[in-house]
Structure 1
Amino acid sequence: MAGPESRHEVGGPIAHGGNLSRARALFPHAPEPWIDLSTGISPYSYPHSPIPGNAFARLPEPALAQELKSIAANAYGAPSATHIAAGPGTQILLPIVAGLMGSGVNRAGVLSPTYAEHARAARLSGLDVTETEDLERLAAGRLAVIVNPNNPTGRVISKSDLLALAALMRAKGGLLVVDEAFMDVSDAESVADAVEEGGLVVLRSFGKFYGMAGLRLGFAMAHPDIVGKIEDRLGPWAVSGPALHIAGEALADDGWQRAMRTTLKADAARLDGLLAAAGVPVAGGTSLFRFIRDARVQTLFRHLGEGGILARRFEERPDDLRIGLPGRDDWARVEEALKTF
């Protein structure tokens, strides 16, 4: 990003973490298997019970989808099941939500730097998008987007500030979208309990905290009128049978959730220690990823890559790097790589 505010043209898909084919092309002599630390996905997958065979053989039952909405509303703090829509990942929900604003002269603001797909989805919906670091400027358009806690910096916006902005957007028929993809591992306050007031959509990702990104499941919480519009665009059977089974268990498992938050927090502290020993300061992040802002990050990215370890760099911000948590069997290689940096 050239400055505190920038505008980009609509383009093709944005580069993200998790692309091991690209990593192998960049570092053809790196040892296998690769350790992928380029995403903010937990290395610990939820230990669900066996998936019933009919979950694959039959179309998803509407009653199970409704039950999942009730469980999710309880887990995330939404007022009721009528305030929540479930879809095949928040990535699918982004353009649907942005499209609720229509096109033409409408403007959108995205609090930056952040997950780039929000701005792209808004542009694809015909909105004129400004990416800004100024919270107050977000209210200039009809759509405002904030990732909270932020990816990749870990920045947190207070609940009071978010609700004040939502009130401003609501008063002019606009919408505030708060992406809480990493709220499961944060001490920040969710605003999901305030969606009944209108002018607010809260997104939650299932796969990151539960270590099951491939399941493709996400939720949008909003006033029932907005939820109805989102579900109309999603159509029937938006969530697969296996996803209904797994998420229904996971979102109700308070004991596992508490234990996993403790584990992830300890792992994040362990990674901070390894980075500090290598002379690399941690500037932020969450307990699912660490954020580095340093002039040496391109060198660190290459050093790790040559060792078969993939981190997430950002072409538009060459001093920024994000590093996820190693899995149980990967710590020794990561520690050795950082020792030799």
Structure 2
Amino acid sequence: MTDHGGSLARAAALFPHAPTPWLDLSTGINPHSYPLFDLPATAYRRLPEEARAQELAAAAARAYGAESAAHVAAAPGTQILLPLVASLVDPGAGKVLSPTYAEHARAAALAGHRVEAVERFEQLFESNLAIVVNPNNPDGRVVPRARLLELAAHLAKKGGLLVVDEAFMDVGPGGESLAGDVGEGGIVVLRSFGKFFGLAGLRLGFALAAPAVAQRLGAWLGPWAVAGPAMEIGLPALDDRKWQAAMRETLRAEAARLDGLLERYGLAVSGGTYLFRYVLTPAAPDLFDFLGGRGILLRNFADRPEALRIGLPGGEAEFSRLENALENWRKGEGR
């Protein structure tokens, strides 16, 4: 398994004397989760009904801009979809626009592809499976929809597939989404529920694709792929446009506040989304260690030692804790 953010067990092993509770800023998960509510006992006691699953698919289509529920395959998180989607085309040249979320390359390799991480968009035209995370994790890069459609058309002519992971498009430029374009075939869009709604532990995600492809993915997943409680929470959340709009404004303001805080301490933000910020600095290893020793976990990268991804603090207390730690870091305490 590739290392990821969000592992407090890893953090405790790295920093055994750090104070707790941890302030985990190593993920891109919304710290302000969708408000939970009491669920009917049947959500736990009974297997999910197919009719309810279709309601969930329809809600996802409305929320993400797919043409209909027939274009949606629901899953227990998008992670489980990665090797399935990569298996939609015969093993061949798989290229992932990088640096990005490492699981795409691993999943494509599991599906038998010869995987190569490439840094130029034009190199994706040489593949039969092309994978783009848009907006990108961790730097927030956005590839315009027009360029992606050009790539998809090129790949389709030779039986290839474009996979666009839009896990962070809820806080990205919605006009660049390919969710409404999947009906033509040759494109699969992945959407994550847990990140924007702050409910990653619920394990809910979606593949948007042409109906035949969505049906094939659903058949591979089998019946009852999504748990009853996930359905009952996902349905109202996906249709709650008022909460979504207000949350985008909240996250926009908090990302700007985090930028200002980081920049006061010489940490210029070079990218990211409203759910995480991306910093490049020679001081990254020192800052990661310093904050980790004080119970604040950032996301570092073994192959990019100068890079850090920093998630949003969840309120005044967490912002103050981060600010105090950065002030002590600037003063050189403990170094």
TM-score range, shorter chain: over 0.9
Alpha-carbon distance in structure 2 between the residues aligned to 1:178 and 1:303:
36
- Structure 1 match to 2:194: 207
- Structure 2 match to 1:124: 110
- Structure 2 match to 1:57: 45
How far 1:148 sits from its partner (Å)? 0.2
Q: Which TM-score applies when normalising by structure 1?
A: 0.95
AA of the residue aligned to 1:174: G
- Structure 1 match to 2:184: 197
Contact 1:37 1:325 in 2 (8 A): yes
- Structure 1 match to 2:16: 28
Contact 1:48 1:250 in 2 (8 A): no
Query: Which of 297, 322, 326 lines up with 1:334 in the alignment?
Result: 322
2:284 aligned with 1:286: no
2:3 aligned with 1:19: no
The C-alpha deviation readout for 1:94-127, integer Å capped at 9, x for no partner, is 0100111233xx1111000000000000011110
Alpha-carbon distance in structure 2 between the residues aligned to 1:173 and 1:323:
39
2:258 aligned with 1:271: yes
Over aligned residue pairs, what C-alpha RMSD do you find?
0.8
- Structure 2 match to 1:322: 309
Q: How do 1:15-94 residues align onto structure 2 when only pairs under 5 Å count?
A: 15-94=3-82
Unaligned segments of structure 2, at least 5 residues:
330-335
- Structure 2 match to 1:8: none
- Structure 1 match to 2:238: 251
Q: What stretches of structure 1 move > 3 A for 4+ residues in a row?
A: none
Matched residue of 1:302: which SS?
Answer: helix
- Structure 1 match to 2:332: none
How far 1:186 sits from its partner (Å)? 1.1
Unaligned segments of structure 1, at least 5 residues:
1-12
Count of aligned pairs between the two proteins: 327
Query: Which of 293, 296, 299 lines up with 2:283 in the alignment?
Result: 296
- Structure 2 match to 1:163: 149
Alpha-carbon distance in structure 2 between the residues aligned to 1:190 and 1:113:
20
Q: Which TM-score applies when normalising by structure 2?
A: 0.96
Alpha-carbon distance in structure 2 between the residues aligned to 1:323 and 1:294:
13
- Structure 2 match to 1:6: none
Alpha-carbon distance in structure 1 between the residues aligned to 2:248 and 2:168:
12
How far 1:136 sits from its partner (Å)? 1.1
- Structure 2 match to 1:308: 295
How far 1:312 sits from its partner (Å)? 0.3
Alpha-carbon distance in structure 1 between the residues aligned to 2:68 and 2:129:
24
AA of the residue aligned to 2:131: V
Alpha-carbon distance in structure 2 between the residues aligned to 1:102 and 1:309:
44
The C-alpha deviation readout for 1:285-323, integer Å capped at 9, x for no partner, is 000000011111011101110110000001011111100
- Structure 2 match to 1:141: 127
2:225 aligned with 1:238: yes
- Structure 1 match to 2:139: 153
Alpha-carbon distance in structure 2 between the residues aligned to 1:219 and 1:184:
13
How far 1:29 sits from its partner (Å)? 1.2
Alpha-carbon distance in structure 1 between the residues aligned to 2:117 and 2:181:
25
Percent identical pairs in the alignment equals 59
Alpha-carbon distance in structure 2 between the residues aligned to 1:102 and 1:96:
12
Matched residue of 2:194: which SS?
Answer: coil
Matched residue of 1:166: which SS?
Answer: helix
Alpha-carbon distance in structure 1 between the residues aligned to 2:284 and 2:60:
38
Alpha-carbon distance in structure 1 between the residues aligned to 2:170 and 2:328:
34
Alpha-carbon distance in structure 1 between the residues aligned to 2:265 and 2:15:
22
2:213 aligned with 1:226: yes
Matched residue of 1:340: which SS?
Answer: helix
Alpha-carbon distance in structure 1 between the residues aligned to 2:280 and 2:89:
35
Alpha-carbon distance in structure 2 between the residues aligned to 1:170 and 1:190:
19
How far 1:49 sits from its partner (Å)? 2.8
How far 1:139 sits from its partner (Å)? 1.6
- Structure 2 match to 1:180: 166
Matched residue of 1:110: which SS?
Answer: strand
2:97 aligned with 1:111: yes
How far 1:48 sits from its partner (Å)? 3.4
Alpha-carbon distance in structure 2 between the residues aligned to 1:63 and 1:253:
20
